[in-house]
Structure 1
């Protein structure tokens, strides 16, 4: 079961206390423990979602996610705040959130797509999306607040959309300052492309390096399937892909390992070179298709010799041809 640092749960407990309402019964019914929260242990995301729904009813606040996210100290995000705040530009901060958000919430998957506009897609892994309203809205509000604080401007998104239903979205629309739609086929915040190039106030390259190192270490501890060696392999593969040289022997040489030692290191972690390469190609292909790159360009970028080879791989990954996948309603 995916877990998180439980920031929304802590904020909700504080709101209950402020209103003079005992949080204990609501925590127990949601499968949460006061003792665990007091010791800052991680909580199950599904339990957090259930707790927020119960708190919303107890407080008669149908916009609880917005209420909680609207004014808390963003530094409570912990290292995620500081790794974003030490970035040079807002686009860089989003890319770091894209990579490191699993540290705070293993169920949340951010996808940053830069093209005609800066698009932030939000997805759940291991948690059914239809059970949630408040947590997803709190994520969206927090991202917009973070943008405004980091660049020192009241940035207004171009649009926002959510999969869940709302009969009247004027409250969150007023906060975000943009059109907000519900009953959508995905969760997304869209910024103007120029927002990505806005400088982050107080950019500190030394703090930046320190926070990236700390987050990489934390990612290994909190993100299942991620290992330092796998990251090294992926980093070695990336520049080789467009030249068709992403082969085990070449990557082993870049890592100063013999081919036999390289294979043994992978096997020790339950990995194979082919698995890592295929997963990287899949993730990059989806990203490139969403960015509307031509199939011939993607074929070259992924190191395939022929367009037909890429088309075959795309069908295996997504069940669709590149053109069919590109024309589907975003996100998949």
Structure 2
């Protein structure tokens, strides 16, 4: 059994996230007497944008919802609020990433997989798993670090993410003895979730190596696309996808980023790309899924922001060298 886990792949919290993450926050709010609709103010999102698990949001959009929750519970300690929210997460919330962990043959495999695909989660306080001592008598410590988080949301997010990790571990292995320590308790900057290392070798109740391998392959395909861009280009891709039905004009995306269109284009050029290149990436990626449905070419074109099917057909030929019909016949 290895003494060390794979290093956490994501080193900061700025990665894109599934819309499900905001959906969980809104569901918790609704269940606790808070009207969820106002929580979306300032995100540029509507409830319809959160339908389906395939959509993505930026980290800043989710932080806007977190701040709105804090404003609606001004008298509740943020760490206590975060812990309550974290307890509402379950592995099914994380889509294929969660199912890959559930199907893992052992707890070690699940924890190691989580560190390799952590950017498929909703975490902000970045976790790091370490083995203290040996695998028989030692302790696994998951350090949840919020040092780089904005101070106004840090206590809530550290407590939320630590509690969510604990909740997920117990879902993987019911009855797992856990200790959760916030440092400091009232306004945590970090947390530690620990459990006896002897549990790492225990088989998981829902473990299925074949299912785990299939889910992990899907995780790898998903993160390959997400990790292909960083910085501003990554944010632009997410926001362009949210605006694509309306054509995703550069000016609209620039305003949502608080930039002028000229500044946006200049900063993208400095990153070695352009707005049109990123929009093509978004549209070509979405087209693959849309063309696999029963939608007509006209309907697919409209959903991708084209005024007519001929424009989409021309773009598809530019992306792939084939028209959509030729691609379908070849498959």
- Shorter-chain TM range is 0.5 to 0.7
Report deviation, 1:52. 1.9
- Tell me how far apart the structure 2 counterparts of residues 152 and 18 of structure 1 sit (CA, whole Å): 25
Match in the other structure for 1:94: 111
The answer as to whether partners of 2:39 and 2:65 remain within 8 angstroms in 1 is: yes
- Tell me how far apart the structure 2 counterparts of residues 18 and 106 of structure 1 sit (CA, whole Å): 22
- 1:199 equivalent to 2:203? Answer yes
Instruction: Find the residue that maps to 1:188 and give its secondary structure.
Output: strand
Match in the other structure for 1:251: none
Report deviation, 1:28. 1.0
Report deviation, 1:137. 1.8
Q: CA distance change for structure 1 residues 34 and 150 in 2, over 3 Å: closer, same or farther?
A: same
Match in the other structure for 1:208: 212
- 1:44 equivalent to 2:44? Answer no
Aligned residues: 209
Q: CA distance change for structure 1 residues 25 and 225 in 2, over 3 Å: closer, same or farther?
A: closer
Report deviation, 1:98. 0.2
Report deviation, 1:92. 1.5
- 1:57 equivalent to 2:78? Answer no
Deviates more, 1:127-136 or 1:41-50: 127-136
The answer as to whether partners of 1:147 and 1:155 remain within 8 angstroms in 2 is: no
Match in the other structure for 2:35: 22
The answer as to whether partners of 1:45 and 1:127 remain within 8 angstroms in 2 is: no
Report deviation, 1:193. 1.9
* Root mean square deviation, CA, Å: 3.1
Question: What does the per-residue CA deviation read over 1:193-220, in whole Å, with 9 as the maximum and x for residues that have no partner?
Answer: 2232232113211111111111111110
- Tell me how far apart the structure 1 counterparts of residues 15 and 123 of structure 2 sit (CA, whole Å): 5
Q: Which runs of 5+ in 2 are unaligned?
A: 1-13, 134-138, 231-271, 273-331
Q: Which runs of 5+ in 1 are unaligned?
A: 168-181, 227-269, 271-332
- Tell me how far apart the structure 1 counterparts of residues 72 and 18 of structure 2 sit (CA, whole Å): 23
- Tell me how far apart the structure 2 counterparts of residues 135 and 224 of structure 1 sit (CA, whole Å): 27
Question: What does the per-residue CA deviation read over 1:259-312, in whole Å, with 9 as the maximum and x for residues that have no partner?
Answer: xxxxxxxxxxx9xxxxxxxxxxxxxxxxxxxxxxxxxxxxxxxxxxxxxxxxxx
The answer as to whether partners of 1:2 and 1:105 remain within 8 angstroms in 2 is: no
Question: What does the per-residue CA deviation read over 1:169-202, in whole Å, with 9 as the maximum and x for residues that have no partner?
Answer: xxxxxxxxxxxxx555x44322222232232113
The answer as to whether partners of 2:159 and 2:191 remain within 8 angstroms in 1 is: no
- 1:138 equivalent to 2:160? Answer yes
- Tell me how far apart the structure 2 counterparts of residues 23 and 187 of structure 1 sit (CA, whole Å): 28
Match in the other structure for 2:249: none
- Tell me how far apart the structure 1 counterparts of residues 123 and 31 of structure 2 sit (CA, whole Å): 29
The answer as to whether partners of 1:106 and 1:223 remain within 8 angstroms in 2 is: no
Match in the other structure for 1:2: 15
* Partner of residue 181 from structure 2, selected from 160, 178, 194: 160
- Tell me how far apart the structure 1 counterparts of residues 121 and 182 of structure 2 sit (CA, whole Å): 23
TM-score normalised to the size of structure 2? 0.54
TM-score normalised to the size of structure 1? 0.54
Report deviation, 1:101. 1.4
- Tell me how far apart the structure 2 counterparts of residues 125 and 132 of structure 1 sit (CA, whole Å): 8
Match in the other structure for 1:150: 172
The answer as to whether partners of 1:64 and 1:134 remain within 8 angstroms in 2 is: yes
Q: CA distance change for structure 1 residues 19 and 122 in 2, over 3 Å: closer, same or farther?
A: closer
- 1:74 equivalent to 2:95? Answer no
- Tell me how far apart the structure 1 counterparts of residues 62 and 215 of structure 2 sit (CA, whole Å): 27
Q: CA distance change for structure 1 residues 16 and 142 in 2, over 3 Å: closer, same or farther?
A: closer
Question: Which has the bigger relative contact order, CA under 8 A and spacing at least 6?
Answer: 2
- Residues 165-314 of structure 1: pairs in structure 2 closer than 5 A: 166-167=185-186, 183=188, 186-224=190-228
